[in-house]
């Protein structure tokens, strides 16, 4: 509504301004034309007077009339020859002046012989051309109908130049009526023309503004409403007064492997895919739902009227189902996943901005937990007040060295030797005790603090390693990198400097990255990881099997190792498909020349199975839990003693 007012006001401003301009233009043109019409009408009247007066009087008078006083007989004669014919043409009054300014003849006989302004009369005669003047009213006090006086220099007798001045008064009313009727027609035509011009302009501008308005609200690729349009729809739909007691939902959808498709099949196919996704989404929604593309591979759905809160599960299910069907991209069948975050109205917010933010939190959670769909939950929201307080605490915790590292050994299955350790961070919180990474690492990832955590871990791991090296222990240590770390262009430099400062060779450091981390921006990740590899740092693909890895990326990544996700290892004893995944991953690693690590080895059976499958390395509670450095030292010593025994 407000938008349409805004748009209208733009158009309104244009119409008002142009209307004003048209009026000014009309006024000016009207005035100019009116002046010309008036001038022409007066000139016509003058011509009439000149023609009527000059020729008539010139013929009637002779030289003797300008000498002395005209006698009564001659006066009657002149009345007949001059005044009477003129009166019939509408002339009110006629007079003839001599050169000395005295009246030689007048139809008002009483004036004859009187003298008015001699110089003026002389001047008018000498000029030799007629002159016109608006006269006063005909009444004695200047009121009454106005007149037009015309002075015409005339030649009387044998004179070669004008020697008398003829003056006639014409009534102004007929001239004024002429002017009025002419200007009325003109004004009408002018107004009509300008109105038509304005109408045409208005139509053009209104159409253009409508088009601009639509374009500003439309996603060009899919034709769906864009973010701005979604906000507008949100304002209309969630406006407080319009929805007492009603519920709604905002669903945020992020495609899981879009970037990969775009990179491997090209942007054209990427665009095609987005259009296809838009179509499928449209097909499963009701007409009252607003589907928008927010940019990239992110779509949003505003469900205005939710029969009940649980209905979102049904909608999300339909969306998942629609997107699960493979997409045909230039003959290649591409399977795509989606993560859906849901925020409810009014439970999670009563304006679109809040709902969007919360749906985004839920979507991130859906992605992180790999559950596909997730509804907003305040407890996991890094932006909820409780969480924000924790973030603030985490900031100081890093500076106060409240973080601690625990180390979990990895065992080479064939030899039983310790292949290295994985450094896992914990937070020794002053009030809450020892916090597991799940309680603060995702939070740090969402709030940009993860870089600081990673730097702390890097520094702590390398200084620990320096200690081990000083004690004659060469122990490769692995740290975990988050997505933001991998995409951080300074990562390689930071790690390089830390290695130099601690005098640790690159080959003793390993970085574990998860598949999804790489898939967020494969090109940049590959570049960043390549630089680490160049320093001798080992690279390991964490949680393998959980994510969306494609073999093409696996081949292009500069890897040394893959770690089978612990869920498969823990399930391999009881679940055939888990066992199959473990088996094929080991084969895959071997074929690609990569070392394979099995995480989550909790039992002797699992260890034996992995040994039978020729898995390279095992890690898990069954061998050792993650331990503080001092405990690890004791564990290593005890293990060395038992192997020796």
621 binds, among ligand C2E, Ca ion, none (CB under 5 to 8 A by kind): ligand C2E
- How do strand 617-618 and strand 595-598 relate by DSSP bridges? parallel
247 binds, among ligand C2E, Ca ion, none (CB under 5 to 8 A by kind): none
Rounded Cα gap, residues 618 and 162, in angstroms: 134
Does residue 536 sit in helix, strand or coil? coil
Q: State which residue, 294 or 564, has the beta carbon closest to Ca ion.
A: 564
226 binds, among ligand C2E, Ca ion, none (CB under 5 to 8 A by kind): none
**What is the nearest approach in angstroms of Ca ion to the Cβ of residue 571?**
15
620 binds, among ligand C2E, Ca ion, none (CB under 5 to 8 A by kind): ligand C2E
256 binds, among ligand C2E, Ca ion, none (CB under 5 to 8 A by kind): none
**What is the nearest approach in angstroms of Ca ion to the Cβ of residue 543?**
4
Which among 284, 217, 216, 288 has a CA at the least distance from the CA of 253? 284
**What is the nearest approach in angstroms of Ca ion to the Cβ of residue 481?**
9
149 binds, among ligand C2E, Ca ion, none (CB under 5 to 8 A by kind): none
Does residue 550 sit in helix, strand or coil? coil
Q: State which residue, 542 or 578, has the beta carbon closest to Ca ion.
A: 542
**What is the nearest approach in angstroms of Ca ion to the Cβ of residue 8?**
58
Q: State which residue, 290 or 477, has the beta carbon closest to Ca ion.
A: 477
**What is the nearest approach in angstroms of Ca ion to the Cβ of residue 591?**
22
**What is the nearest approach in angstroms of ligand C2E to the Cβ of residue 613?**
17
How many C-beta atoms lie closer than 10 Å to residue 105's C-beta? 26
451 binds, among ligand C2E, Ca ion, none (CB under 5 to 8 A by kind): none
Q: State which residue, 170 or 424, has the beta carbon closest to ligand C2E.
A: 424
> Cα 509 to chain center, whole Å?
46
196 binds, among Ca ion, ligand C2E, none (CB under 5 to 8 A by kind): none
94 binds, among Ca ion, ligand C2E, none (CB under 5 to 8 A by kind): none
424 binds, among ligand C2E, Ca ion, none (CB under 5 to 8 A by kind): ligand C2E
Q: Are 485 and 495 in contact (CB under 8 A)?
A: no
Q: State which residue, 96 or 491, has the beta carbon closest to ligand C2E.
A: 491
Q: What tokens does 287 get?
A: 């007409």
Residue 496, C-beta contacts closer than 8 angstroms, at least 6 positions apart: 535
425 binds, among Ca ion, ligand C2E, none (CB under 5 to 8 A by kind): ligand C2E
| Long-range contacts (CB closer than 8 Å, 24 or more residues apart) made by 222-225 | 222/274, 222/275, 222/278, 222/293, 223/278, 224/278, 224/282, 224/291, 224/292, 224/293, 224/299, 225/290, 225/291, 225/292, 225/293
H, E, C per residue of 397-450: HHHCCCEEEEEEEEEECCCCCEEEEEEEEEEEECCCEEECHHHHHHHHHHCCCH
**What is the nearest approach in angstroms of Ca ion to the Cβ of residue 229?**
42
State the Cα angle at 206 between 202 and 210, rounded to 5°. 175
Q: Are 636 and 472 in contact (CB under 8 A)?
A: no
Burial class (CB in 10 A: 0-12, 13-18, 19+), 396: exposed
Q: State which residue, 261 or 423, has the beta carbon closest to ligand C2E.
A: 423
616 binds, among Ca ion, ligand C2E, none (CB under 5 to 8 A by kind): none
By beta carbon distance, the residue nearest ligand C2E is: 620
**What is the nearest approach in angstroms of ligand C2E to the Cβ of residue 540?**
10
Which among 532, 535, 581 has a CA at the least distance from the CA of 557? 532
Q: What tokens does 219 get?
A: 């996603």
Q: Where are the beta strands (DSSP E) in 273-372?
A: 290-295, 298-303, 327-329, 332-334, 338-345
Q: Are 462 and 499 in contact (CB under 8 A)?
A: yes
Q: State which residue, 270 or 571, has the beta carbon closest to ligand C2E.
A: 571
**What is the nearest approach in angstroms of Ca ion to the Cβ of residue 467?**
22
Q: State which residue, 323 or 532, has the beta carbon closest to ligand C2E.
A: 532
Q: State which residue, 248 or 409, has the beta carbon closest to ligand C2E.
A: 409
Q: State which residue, 589 or 620, has the beta carbon closest to ligand C2E.
A: 620
Residues that bind ligand C2E (CB under 6 A): 408, 424-425, 436-438, 441, 454, 457, 479-480, 482, 512, 542-543, 566, 599-602, 619-621, 626
**What is the nearest approach in angstroms of Ca ion to the Cβ of residue 422?**
6
**What is the nearest approach in angstroms of ligand C2E to the Cβ of residue 444?**
8
Q: What tokens does 637 get?
A: 């010593």
Rounded Cα gap, residues 167 and 50, in angstroms: 9
Q: Are 526 and 556 in contact (CB under 8 A)?
A: yes
Q: State which residue, 282 or 368, has the beta carbon closest to ligand C2E.
A: 368
Which among 195, 561, 116, 625 has a CA at the least distance from the CA of 408? 625
**What is the nearest approach in angstroms of ligand C2E to the Cβ of residue 484?**
9
Q: State which residue, 145 or 573, has the beta carbon closest to ligand C2E.
A: 573
Rounded Cα gap, residues 456 and 459, in angstroms: 5
Residues that bind Ca ion (CB under 5 A): 480, 512, 542-543, 599
């Amino acid at each position: 509504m407000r938008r349409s007012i805004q748009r209208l006001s733009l158009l309104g401003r244009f119409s008002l301004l142009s209307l004003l301009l048209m009026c000014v233009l009309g006024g000016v043109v009207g005035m100019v034309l009116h002046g010309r019409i008036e001038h022409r009408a007066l000139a016509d009247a003058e011509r009439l007077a000149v023609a009527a007066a000059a020729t008539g009087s010139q013929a009637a008078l002779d030289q003797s009339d300008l000498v002395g006083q005209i006698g009564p007989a001659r006066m009657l004669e002149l009345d007949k020859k001059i005044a009477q014919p003129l009166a019939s043409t509408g002339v009110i009054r006629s007079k003839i002046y001599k050169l000395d300014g005295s009246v030689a003849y007048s139809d008002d006989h009483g004036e004859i012989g009187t003298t008015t302004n001699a110089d003026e009369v002389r001047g008018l005669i000498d000029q030799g051309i007629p002159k016109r003047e608006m006269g006063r009213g005909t009444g004695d006090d200047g009121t009454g109908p106005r007149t037009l006086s015309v002075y015409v220099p005339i030649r009387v007798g044998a004179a070669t130049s004008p020697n008398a001045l003829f003056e006639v008064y014409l009534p102004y009313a007929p001239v004024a009526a002429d002017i009025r009727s002419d200007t009325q027609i003109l004004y009408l035509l002018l107004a009509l023309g300008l109105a038509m011009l304005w109408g045409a302009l208005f139509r053009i501008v209104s159409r253009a503004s409508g088009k601009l308005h639509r374009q500003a609200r439309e996603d060009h690729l899919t034709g769906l409403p864009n973010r701005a349009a979604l906000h507008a729809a949100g304002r209309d739909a969630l406006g407080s007064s319009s929805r007492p007691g009603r519920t709604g939902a905002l669903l945020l959808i992020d495609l899981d492997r879009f970037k990969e498709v775009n990179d491997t099949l090209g942007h054209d196919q990427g665009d095609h895919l987005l259009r296809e996704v838009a179509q499928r989404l449209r097909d499963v929604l009701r007409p009252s739902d607003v589907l928008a593309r927010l940019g990239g591979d992110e779509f949003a759905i505003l469900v205005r009227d939710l029969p009940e809160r649980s209905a979102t599960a049904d909608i999300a299910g339909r969306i998942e189902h629609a997107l699960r069907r493979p997409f045909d991209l230039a003959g290649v069948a591409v399977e795509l996943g989606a993560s859906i975050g849901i925020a409810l109205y009014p439970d999670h917010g009563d304006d679109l901005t809040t709902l969007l933010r919360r749906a985004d939190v839920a979507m991130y959670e859906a992605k992180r937990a790999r559950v596909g769909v997730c509804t907003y939950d305040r407890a996991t929201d890094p932006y909820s007040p409780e969480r924000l307080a924790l973030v603030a605490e985490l900031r100081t915790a890093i500076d106060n060295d409240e973080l601690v590292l625990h180390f979990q050994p990895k065992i080479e299955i064939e030899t039983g030797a310790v292949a290295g350790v994985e450094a896992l961070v914990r937070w020794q919180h002053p009030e809450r005790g020892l916090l597991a990474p799940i309680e603060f690492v995702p939070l740090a990832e969402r709030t940009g603090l993860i870089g600081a955590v990673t730097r702390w871990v890097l520094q702590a791991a390398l200084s620990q390693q320096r200690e081990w090296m000083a004690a004659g222990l060469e122990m490769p240590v692995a740290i975990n990198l988050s997505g933001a770390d991998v995409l951080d262009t300074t990562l390689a430099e930071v790690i390089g400097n830390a290695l130099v400062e601690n005098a640790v060779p690159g080959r003793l450091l390993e970085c574990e990255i998860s598949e999804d981390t790489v898939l967020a921006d494969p090109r940049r990740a590959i570049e960043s990881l390549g630089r680490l590899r160049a320093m001798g740092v080992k690279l390991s693909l964490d949680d393998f099997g959980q994510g969306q890895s494609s073999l093409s990326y696996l081949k292009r990544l500069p890897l040394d190792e893959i770690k089978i996700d612990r869920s498969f290892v823990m399930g391999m004893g009881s679940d055939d498909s888990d066992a199959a995944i473990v088996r094929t991953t080991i084969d895959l690693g071997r074929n690609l020349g990569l070392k394979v690590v099995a995480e989550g080895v909790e039992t002797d059976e699992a260890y034996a199975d992995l040994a039978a499958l020729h898995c390279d390395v095992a890690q898990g509670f069954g061998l050792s839990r993650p331990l503080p450095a001092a405990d690890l030292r004791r564990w290593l010593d005890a293990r060395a003693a038992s192997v020796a025994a």
